[in-house]
Amino acid sequence: MFGNKNKEVNKTRAWKRLEDHCKNMRKVEMREMFEQDPSRAERYCINLEHMMLDYSKNRINDRTIRYLLDLAEERNLKGMIEAMFRGDKINTTEHRPVLHVALRNRSNKPIYVDGKNVMPEINEVLAKMRRFSEAVRLGEFRGATGKKLTNIVNIGIGGSDLGPKMACEALKKYWAKDINCYFISNIDGTACCEVLNKVDPETTLFIVASKTFTTIETLTNAKTCRKWLVDALGEHAVCKHFVAVSTNLKEVEKFGINPENMFEFWDFVGGRYSMWSAIGLIIAIAVGMDNFDKMLDGAHAMDMHFKDTDFARNIPVIMGMLGVWYNNFFNLRNVAVVPYDQYLQFLPAYLQQLDMESNGKQVNNFNKYVKYSTAPVLFGGPGTDVQHSFFQLIHQGSSVVPIDFIIPAISHNEIGDHHEILVANVLAQGEALMRGKTVIEAAAELRKAGKAEEEVKRVKRFKSFTGNRPSNTFVFKKIDPYTLGMLIAAYEHKVFVEGIIWNINSFDQMGVELGKQMALSILPELQGNASSVSHDSSTEHLIATIKRLRK
C-alpha cells in the first residue's frame, strides 16, 4: 500500500530530480518570472465554486509542478486517496480506517468498515444532533428551574475544543441572538473560573466532550462545573444541564448525565478531525443545524474535488506538494497562516494541531526513522494585527517563511473603509514579499525623499527587502458555513498529502502521551503523597521549590 519498503522516499528518482531542480530554482527571482510571463497569475490559480487559490507567488515553474506531481504519483497518492475514501485501515499503528470524510458524506453512498455500512449510524447521530440543538434553541429543552438554556459551555481539549471553538468564532454572525458560547479546555483552574464567573447556573448547558470520558483535563473541569451547578441548584439539576459527547456510556451515566443525552462518535475519526461529528454539537446549537449541514456540504464539495480532480488542478494536492517543496528541498521549516478576517482568528491555532499533531512524526510506515524533515512549525494570527508582531521577520528575517493569506471579498461588517483597507493590506503584503525592494531601489527612494547622500549610504540596506518570499492567497466571497467547510477540508487533505509523501501515519498522536503519563507520577508528590518515582535532579528540584513556595 505504501510503496517499496526497501526504498526511502528521499532515495527515489523523483526526489533526486527535485533536488537537482531546486538548485536552479534557488537562483530564480519571482518578480522576473512575473515580468516575463503576463499570464502567470492565471495559470497558477485554481477556482472552485466561489473560492480561489492563487499560488502564483511561489518559486515554481511548470517543470516544478510536473516534478512534484511525478513524486505524488510515485508515492501512490491517488491510490491512498481512494483507500481513505474506501474505508481501508490506513491508520496503520492503530489499525483503523480514517473516515472523517464519511461524517460529511452528503451523497450518502455506503462506506464500509469491517463489512458494515457506517452511514446509517452517522445519519442517526446527525438527526439526534438536529433534534437536540433545535430543542435547546427553541427553549423546548430547558434547565432544572424551567429557564431557557442560553449559555452553552463546551468542556473538552485538543480536537474536542480547537475545532468547535474555531468554527463557532468563524460563524459568529450566524449565532442565534440569545445564545452565548464558551469553551473550557485548559486544566488551569483560571480557565474554568473565568467562564463560570460569566454564566448563570439556571441558564447554562455544559457539553462534556471526551471519547473515553477519562481525559484528565476534561473530567477535572467537568467535575468542577458539576459541583458549581449542584451547589447552586442541587443534584437533580445535573441531568438537565449536562450532556456528553462520548463512547463510554457507563462513565457518562455515573456522572449523572441522561444516557439519552449522550452523543456518540467513532474510532475511525481522530480528535482533530472530529468537528464534523457530534463534537460539533455546540456549533449546531449556536448556528442551527441547517447551517451545520451547510458546513458539511462545503466540506463534502472539497472532498469530491480532492478525490476526483486531476492533481494539476487539485487545491489540496497543490497545497501539500508546495509544502513538501519548501520543507524538504528549500529546507524551510516554518510556515505561517494569516487570515485577514477577525472571525477566523482561531484558525491558526486549529491548524497547528491539524498539521503538527498529524505530521510531527519521525518514524515511517515501515517502522524506520526518517532521514528528512516532516511537519514544519506552523504559526499565525489575524491580519492586520500580525503585521505589527511577526511580519518584521517574515519580510526581513534571515529565515524565509512561506505564508498562506486568507481573505474574503465581502465583510460581514461593512463599516466605513475598514474592509477596503484590510483587503489593500493583504494584497500589498503578498506583493511586497514577492517583489521586495533592492538596495538600489531603496537608495533611489531615499534620494527622492531629499535625504543627503551620506544618509542614503547609511540607511539604504536597512530599507531594502530581499523579496522572493513565497505566499499563497485564498480568496472567497464571504466567510459562511459552506465556505468554512470547504476551507477546513482543504487543509485536512493538504496534511494528508504531505503525510503520504513523507510515508508517515498522519492519524495517530502517540507523542502526546509521554508527558501525560509522567504528570500522573508527579501529581502525588505535589499533593503531599509519598512517591517512589525518581526523577532527574532538575525535576526533583522544581518539585521541591514549588512545594516550598506553597508553604
**Could you give the residue numbers annotated as active site?**
357, 388, 516
Radius of gyration for the alpha carbons in the chain, expressed in angstroms and rounded: 26
Cα–Cα nearest to 376, from 433, 427, 319: 319
Q: Which residue from 139, 350, 162, 160 is spatially nearest to 245, judged by alpha carbons?
A: 160
Query: CB-based burial of residue 389 (10 Å sphere; 0-12 exposed, 13-18 middle, 19+ buried)?
Result: exposed
In the sheet with 51-54, reading across from the earlier edge strand, the strands are: 45-48, 51-54, 471-476, 403-408, 334-339, 377-380
Distance from C-alpha of 468 to C-alpha of 248, rounded to nearest angstrom: 53
Q: Which helix (H) or strand (E) holds 364?
A: none
Closest CA to 433 of 404, 476, 462: 404
Distance CA 200, CA 208 (A): 18
Torsional class of 234: left (φ above 0), alpha (ψ -120 to 50), beta (otherwise): left
Query: Other C-beta atoms within 10 Å of 297: how many?
Result: 15
3-state secondary structure of 182: strand
Q: How far apart are CA 278 and CA 500, in angstroms?
A: 28
Strand partners, 377: 334
Contact 208, 255 (CB under 8 A): yes
Helix (H) or strand (E) run with residue 509 in it: none
At 338, list the grid cell: 494569516
Q: Rounded CA gap, 64 and 19, in Å?
A: 11
d(CA 326, CA 201): 51
- Cα separation, 57 vs 35, whole angstroms: 12
**Order of strands across the sheet with 180-184?**
180-184, 151-155, 204-209, 242-245, 262-263
How many helices (H) and strands (E) are present in the chain, helices listed first? 24, 13
Contacts for 121 with CB less than 8 Å, ≥ 6 apart: 264, 266
Give the C-alpha separation, 112 to 134, whole Å: 30
User: Residues in the chain, how many?
Assistant: 551
Q: Give the DSSP letter string of 79-134.
A: HHHHHHHHT---BTTTTB---HHHHT-TT----EETTEE-HHHHHHHHHHHHHHHH
Element of type H or E holding 474: strand 471-476
CA separation, residue 528 to residues 224, 519, 531, 546, 551 (Å): 21, 15, 9, 12, 12
